[in-house]
């Protein structure tokens, strides 16, 4: 059972909650949207008597799902998550682009300036790489993050990078504008709890075998921890179909957009593993109502140390941006860009 | 090994084929696109000597797939399939709409005139229904087809209906403008062979467990039988995700568009089982490059005898058509309509 | 709602049904087990008044599933299906063995005598082959069935072969002892209905994307048509795991054994596509409680025209039979064999 | 490229490796089986010249897979992993049993003595529980581990518990006899690397969407870190079939037994989510050639705080042990038990 409080004062909310507790019920307050109170032990019948009509309460709803704080009813108009100077929300369309892995200063800066010129909203790049085989390139680590920060100041683009372990929150904090939870860590609950404490946006990728409920519950962990700046990202689920690397589940994106107030991105690069499919799937994501895409771009995909075969060249990315810009007005959106763009 | 012949005369082709056979090789001629010769037993080395430079030959390619006649190389600009007066091709966007099952004269005519007014291209309706349970409504049979023919003359829309058995080709022939092979019959090879002989377009739905290769090979059966008027239709694959009824595999549609010259439709109604997801998925299909959609519409979904819960109302369908018309110009397409529309 | 009648006379049952109908309810009688009456329109409350205490009624149960006649409650001790002289039931363990496709007289007779010597219960062989590609070997057709009948009289083993079209029931009738419905035709409802009329056992393979419910409903079609001699066969479902050809779903076999009174076989050859995995999976099927296996054996797998790579050699099959015979006593079963075996 | 060294002295191996490196090639030594040298950069042609015939080398093989150290060729007769006093290997059959979560002293001790009396080999119990929802019971933490250690000294059974974070290795070390890596952490590579350094056996559960290759590569991470005491455990994969909770992939267990020298367990409790299916699937696992099972047992499943609906009662577990003991001799195995069992 969840309750929404409006512009109520902190004092009013505290008194209301204490009143509920005095009568023997649990009540927890969360800073989501305007503020939410979860009342897990109150029956629907008692609810009205306990808090009905109280001026600190705007709306009451009884969720029929295991997730509460991420539900659309909490923020019916959708949450806007600001990553650096870029707002990810339902009016814009955020294009997160960059190499799968940061490999060298040259590679990163060439790619970063390339995607920035083409109109990307946010720069992505992996420093700590989760790799299926212990013998593969595992990323540049902190050195990679420092290169990302350099690319940020060079291009003005905010930076996103994957985090795999709670102890990295602190060293990564000043170097990135958003943490990414990778598909393999979507149910690393220690990590999710730690990010709930962090003062930084988090992009939560869907695990390839996660149901929609499991994905939303992963986000719920972070919101329940106090951090509501969460963005979801669909990147393909694992099915019998191996013509594409994973199966991009766009219908679930449309469904999730109704279930939650959080922004939802689509990653066609990992989902399809095929650069030729990235553009049509990106356009489909825009028309469907997704809030952005995350795509892999490499200045020379043939030399990539990780996932090169699925990366776009900078030229192909620029063409994709053109197509997105052509389609966007018909969907009522505009490509998101930093609020204060750098002057050349 | 497949070879494409241009405006070569029939005599030239016959002589060429006879020449190949005289030297001990197999050769079969198919009326696909401008005409194709399959030379299964000729090695790439012999190919040039046998037919290279012959004036009846335009292009030669060596397929690395088990399907040949459906491959894009046969008709690089894409095949246009005419269903009644409507052309399904890459310039247009065909909207096939109507009830899952024909239930009564009133229901069908109300729905048919409703979708026609809203701008549908083609009318669909099931007369012979494949039903999972023997105790469910199995369709009106021939009576349903006669009602469809009546709806066709009333609305001017061509009519599509599912065929489940080869012996129904003949009685259905004059009543429908295209046969639909349902997902459960995609590998009913006797049926596919019989439709290869029929002089009527065929819409081949993808089975929910079919790989892309199996789907294209089902179409190949029909082309190999001599009928090249085939349209493919994706309707969701079966995966672990049961938040939607099936998982709509749009990335495979983008991939199949590159693999084959045949038009490809998307059926978001069966794929999602949820009328609220039909519109976003339809718009995504248009942006992605699909050649049309197939959606279920019922004049009163609550009363439907089959799949009512996934049908659009006529009002919701009209709104979808508005959205499609708004988006279409930005994709370089226009909604397909009968060449000679009826005057009121 | 289903009702079980015991040794009631036909007259008593007829009168009971007429009485129910006179009061305005539907009632259908099925010859399943001792006999079943379906009363779809009677509410649980009326049930007792209508038929409660009638001496023609042994038990009443209210199914919570869409399938009724196949349910375990109808025949709690399990149905024994006789195929030729071999009884497939819960005391025995039927080993159905033979080539994927009948290719020639030599191949079939060598394989048939080989599997018979090793102790197989039933001979299998495909004459009409459903093939994914139109260019693959499609089977010997009626000639293949005649060879199977010859192998039957030579070895004394009953014969099973796949049927793909209702019009083949009649010509196949005298040549085979059981019809097999292949995985691709599990929802070919015209075929299922026709087999419901046939006086011959039917083996229903599970489609690779079929849920347990859909599989049992396919069997329900045949029982509802009047033929209760149905055997189920699991042959692997389609999943993301492509290390084996399909994923053998043994847990569902254990579950189905509780849901239905029909015997259930396991086909590890199609499920795994790997001859080395056939023996361990066969032993697992025996220990799990399956009623038999169906395995592919070829006298020379390297030369097979269809699925050779998954066939056992006759030697490997004989070793498997040895292992099964060693394990069977500990499971309370014995390998099934023809009641009247031929004398050499 | 991997090479096996036999009873070679450390000095010989060191000199051999230095020799290889002097000629400009990479070489790493691993303590797996008798010892393995990986030579990733040496071509097959150079291999013989570099190390061929050297007396420190027993065998050479060139893997065609991404995993090397886990491959069967390294230890053709299979690795025996000792957990406490219990040997998990191909001669025995290890039964790991206990509650999903440690809930209280009473619950744990009642269950532990129950499974010990019935003949279990090893005790399992979760202290840190990964839970899909942030609002579910998250386990007793260190207090749960202390209760497990108490149960161990009471019953003489070694103890297994799940680890979710590298920093828990140290505090858990003296309290458990083996670490379990849960399905959700199978690709938590930081955790795998840390366990590669630990001097304690590790049970690696297969993630529900993991391919066989990904599962074996997770084990490879631990072996590459220097810890070769790894046991694998299949617990069901995620497929469209939701009649059972997951799909138990027994055929892959048979396949993995051929691919790797590591022992492989089967967890039918998580795989099926249905206590009635646990016994048949356990017997199937034994017949198939698995090296043991892991099952959930609760002294009162109706009161369980986690996964109660899938737990066996102690009585049902005792019956399962009887069935396993009856079947085991026919498979050439005996139920594993602590080498020094406690006297009553």
pLDDT for C299-323, tens place per residue? 999 888 877 788 999 999 999 999 9
Restricting to C residues 270-289, those with a Cβ less than 8 Å away from any Cβ of D are 271-272, 274, 276-277, 280-281, 283-289
Per CB-CB distance under 8 Å, the chain A contacts of C242 are: 240, 242
pLDDT tens digits for range B69-81: 999 988 999 999 9
Task: Say whether residue C242 is in contact with chain A using an 8 A CB cutoff.
Answer: yes
Task: Tell me what pLDDT residue A303 has.
Answer: 85
- Nearest CB to D189; choose among A67, A130, A225: A130
Q: Which of A90, A278, A280, A285 to mutate to test the interface with B (most CBs of B within 10 A)?
A: A280
The more confident residue out of C46 and B317 is B317
Q: From CA A120, how far away is CA A157, in angstroms rounded?
A: 8
Token pair belonging to C230: 């149905």
For testing the chain D interface, which of C276, C284, C285, C325 should be mutated: the one with the most D CBs within 10 Å? C284
Residue D142, chain C, CB below 8 Å: the answer is no
Q: Element (H or E) spanning D161, and its range? A: strand D159-163
With pLDDT > 90 as the criterion, what percentage of chain D qualifies? 72
* Amino acid C2: pLDDT: 65
Instruction: Show Cβ contacts of residue D273 under 8 Å, excluding neighbours closer than 6 positions.
Output: D244, D245, D246, D307, D309, D310
Q: What distance in Å separates residue B236's CA from the closest CA in chain D?
A: 13
Question: CA distances (Å), B106 to each of B151, D167, D250, in order?
Answer: 10, 70, 54
| B67:C189 CB<8 A | no
Averaged pLDDT of chain C: 92
- Contact yes or no for D238 and A165 at CB 8 A: no
pTM: 0.94
Of D289, D147, D270, the residue nearest D205 (C-alpha): D270
Distance (Å) from the C-alpha of residue A197 to the closest C-alpha of chain C?
36
Binding partners of C (≥3 Cβ pairs within 8 A): A, B, D
A71: closest CA of chain B, how far (Å): 16
pLDDT band at C270 (very low <50, low <70, confident <90, very high): very high
pLDDT of residue B344: 38
- Give the 3-state secondary structure percentages of chain D, helix then strand then coil, rounded to 5: 40, 20, 40
Nearest CB to A250 within list B209, B274, B281 = B281
First CA to last CA across chain D, in angstroms?
A: 52
Cβ of residue B332 closer than 8 Å to a chain A Cβ: no
Average pLDDT taken over every residue of chain D:
92
Q: CB contact, 8 Å: B343 with chain C?
A: no
Average pLDDT, integer, range B120-140: 92
Contacts of B239 in chain D (CB under 8 A): 240
Rounded Cα–Cα distance for residues C313 and D336 (Å):
35
CA distance D185 to chain A (A): 7
Residue of C252, C216, C131, C112 lying closest to C182 (CA atoms): C131
Q: Name, in order, each residue with C-beta under 8 angstroms of A231's C-beta and a sequence gap of 6 or more.
A: A81, A83, A88, A178, A201, A202, A203, A204, A262, A263, A264, A265, A291
Selecting from A237, A286, A288 the residue whose C-beta is nearest the C-beta of B281 gives A288
Arithmetic mean of pLDDT, C238-257:
97
Question: What tens digit of pLDDT does each residue of C88-144 get?
Answer: 999 999 999 999 999 999 999 999 999 999 999 999 999 998 889 888 888 999 999
pLDDT at C1 over 70: no
**Range with the poorest average pLDDT among B249-253, C46-50, C235-239, D280-284:** C46-50
Nearest to D233 by CA among D105, D12, D81: D81
Q: CB D237 to CB C240 under 8 A?
A: yes
Residues of chain A with pLDDT under 70: 1-2, 4, 6, 33, 340-344
Chain B CB contacts of C67 under 8 Å are: 133
From first CA to last CA, the distance across chain C in angstroms is: 52
Q: Measured between beta carbons, which residues in chain A are less than 8 angstroms from residue D66?
A: 132-133, 135
Tens-digit pLDDT profile for residues D311-321? 999 999 999 99
Give per-residue pLDDT as tens, C216-232: 999 999 999 999 999 99
The mean pLDDT of D64-77, rounded to a whole number, is 91
Mean pLDDT, to the nearest integer, of D24-50? Answer: 80
Instruction: Note whether D188 and D231 are within 8 A (CB).
Output: no
Residue D30 has a pLDDT of 85
- The tens digit of pLDDT for each residue in B273-303 reads 999 999 999 999 999 999 999 999 999 998 8
Listed residue (B118, B71, B178) closest to B324, CA to CA = B118
Q: In this complex, is the C-beta atom of D32 within 8 Å of any C-beta atom belonging to chain A?
A: no
- Specify the pLDDT at position C170: 95
The nearest alpha carbon in chain A to C246 belongs to A240
Whether the predicted pLDDT of B343 surpasses 60: no
Size of interface B-D (CB pairs under 8 A): 8
What are the b/e assignments for B45-64, b being 16+ CB within 10 Å?
A: ebbeebbeebebbeebeeee
Instruction: Looking at the complex, report in whole angstroms how far the Cα of residue D297 sits from the nearest Cα belonging to chain C.
Output: 19
Residue pair B167/B126 in contact by the 8 Å Cβ criterion = no
Instruction: Please give the sequence-ordered ranges of beta strands (E in DSSP) within A208-288, or none if there are none.
Output: 230-234, 264-266
Region of residue D98 (left: phi > 0; alpha: psi -120 to 50; beta: else): left
Strands (E), chain B: 2-4, 28-30, 36-38, 59-61, 81-83, 86-88, 92-98, 122-124, 159-163, 178-181, 202-205, 230-234, 264-266, 292-296, 334-335
Q: Measured between CB atoms, does A114 come within 8 Å of chain D?
A: no
Backbone CA torsion sign across A117, A121, A127, A129? negative
The answer to whether A240 contacts chain C (CB < 8 Å) is: yes
Nearby residues of B129 by Cβ (< 8 Å), 6 or more positions away: B100, B101, B136, B137, B138, B139, B162, B306
Candidates B316, B315, B238, B240; CA nearest to B274 is: B316
Would you say residue B247 has pLDDT above 50?
yes
End-to-end CA distance of chain B: 52
CA distance A48 to chain C (A): 37
**Hey, are the CB atoms on A247 and B243 less than 8 Å from each other?**
no
**D-chain residues near A165 (CB < 8 A):** 166, 190
For A92-125, letters b (16+ CB in 10 Å) and e give bbbbbbbbbbbbeeebbbbbbbbbbebbbbbbbb
Residue A258, chain D, CB below 8 Å: the answer is no
Residue of D89 and B20 predicted with greater confidence: D89
Q: What is residue B46's predicted lDDT score, i.e. its pLDDT? A: 81
The per-residue pLDDT for range D200-241, each reduced to its tens digit, is: 999 999 999 999 999 999 999 999 999 999 999 999 999 999
Residue C126's beta-bridge partner residues?
C101
Q: How many CB pairs under 8 A join B and C?
A: 70
Q: Quick one: closest CA in B to D237, which residue?
A: B240
Contact criterion met (CB < 8 Å) for B133 and C208: no
Interface of C with A in 180-239 (CB under 8 A): 238-239
Residues of chain D contacting residue C244, judged by C-beta atoms under 8 Å apart: 251-252, 255
């Amino acid at each position: 059972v969840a309750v929404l409080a409006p512009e109520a004062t902190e004092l009013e909310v505290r008194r209301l909650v204490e009143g509920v507790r005095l009568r023997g019920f649990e009540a927890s307050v969360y800073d989501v949207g305007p503020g939410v109170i979860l009342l897990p032990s109150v029956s629907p019948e008692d609810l009205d008597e306990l808090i009905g009509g109280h001026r600190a309460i705007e709306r009451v709803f009884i969720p029929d799902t295991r997730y509460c704080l991420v539900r659309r009813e909490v923020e019916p108009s959708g949450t806007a998550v600001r990553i650096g100077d870029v707002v990810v929300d339902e009016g814009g369309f955020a294009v997160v682009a960059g190499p799968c892995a940061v490999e060298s200063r040259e590679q990163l800066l060439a790619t970063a300036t390339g995607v920035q010129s083409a109109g990307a909203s946010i720069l992505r790049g992996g420093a700590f790489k989760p790799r299926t085989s212990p013998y593969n390139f595992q990323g540049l680590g902190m050195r990679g993050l420092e290169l990302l920060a350099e690319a940020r100041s060079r291009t003005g683009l905010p930076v996103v990078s994957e985090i795999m372990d709670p102890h990295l929150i602190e060293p990564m904090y000043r170097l990135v504008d958003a943490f990414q939870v990778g598909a393999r860590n979507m149910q690393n609950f220690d990590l999710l709890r730690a990010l709930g404490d962090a003062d930084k946006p988090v992009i939560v990728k869907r695990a390839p075998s996660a149901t929609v409920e499991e994905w939303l519950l992963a986000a719920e962990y972070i919101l329940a921890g106090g951090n509501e700046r969460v963005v979801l990202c669909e990147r393909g689920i694992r099915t019998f179909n191996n013509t594409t690397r994973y199966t991009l589940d766009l219908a679930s994106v449309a469904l999730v957009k109704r279930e939650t107030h959080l922004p939802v991105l689509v990653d066609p690069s990992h989902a399809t593993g095929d650069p030729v499919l990235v553009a049509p799937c990106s356009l489909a994501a825009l028309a469907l109502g997704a809030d952005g895409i995350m795509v892999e771009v490499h200045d020379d995909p043939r030399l990539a140390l990780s996932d090169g075969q699925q990366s776009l060249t900078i030229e192909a990315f620029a063409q994709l941006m053109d197509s997105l810009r052509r389609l966007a007005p018909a969907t009522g959106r505009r490509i998101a860009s930093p609020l204060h763009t750098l002057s050349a």
